[in-house]
């Protein structure tokens, strides 16, 4: 018997997993920096990281549960189309909040302040 590897160590899955880990680790710096600095540029980077992180998580769920062998060929295509639309509109909405509103982190701080005596 010979042992073979189904996936090489340098495949796209490994690279994608490393990118996902880098995005997650970036939250350790981005979130405190955004809360302290309240800068539009950092808010934009944080919004992008949040949306891409959420997109990848929902994409993994869709891959697990909307398999063509289970639900047919059309449903997975619709699920991924809706996921892409949801991700783009979420990012656009966050950018509108950042540019035309108080900003992402200021909105979060305002939410935390609800019910506190001033």
pLDDT of residue 12: 81
Residues with Cβ within 8 Å of 14's Cβ and at least 6 positions away in sequence, in order, are 7
pLDDT in tens, 40-49: 999 999 999 9
The pTM for the full model equals: 0.83
pLDDT in tens, 9-39: 555 888 989 999 999 999 999 999 999 999 9
* 82 located within any domain: yes
Q: Which domain holds residue 99?
A: 13-113
Residue 94 has pLDDT above 60, yes or no: yes
* 7 located within any domain: no
Confidence band for 65, pLDDT divided at 50, 70 and 90 = very high
Is 65 annotated in a binding site? The answer is yes
How far is 96 from 104, CA to CA, in rounded Å? 10
CB-based contact 70:63 (threshold 8 Å) = no
List the end-to-end C-alpha distance of the chain, in Å, as a whole number.
Answer: 73
Number of structural domains in the chain = 1
* 21 located within any domain: yes
CATH label of the domain that carries residue 31: 1.20.1300.10
Q: SS3 of 103, please?
A: coil
Reported residue count of the chain is 118
* 67 located within any domain: yes
* 8 located within any domain: no
Is 53 annotated in a binding site? The answer is yes
């Amino acid at each position: 018997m010979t042992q073979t590897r189904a996936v090489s160590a340098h495949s796209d899955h490994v690279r994608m997993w490393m990118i996902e880990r880098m995005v997650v680790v970036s939250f350790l710096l981005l979130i405190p920096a955004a809360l302290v600095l309240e800068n539009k540029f950092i808010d934009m980077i944080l919004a992008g990281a949040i949306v891409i992180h959420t997109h990848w998580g929902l994409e993994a769920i869709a891959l697990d549960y909307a398999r063509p062998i289970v639900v047919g060929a059309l449903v997975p295509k619709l699920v991924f189309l809706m996921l892409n639309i949801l991700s783009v509109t979420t990012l656009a909405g966050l950018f509108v909040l950042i540019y035309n509103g108080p900003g992402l982190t200021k909105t979060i701080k305002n939410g935390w302040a609800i019910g506190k005596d001033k």
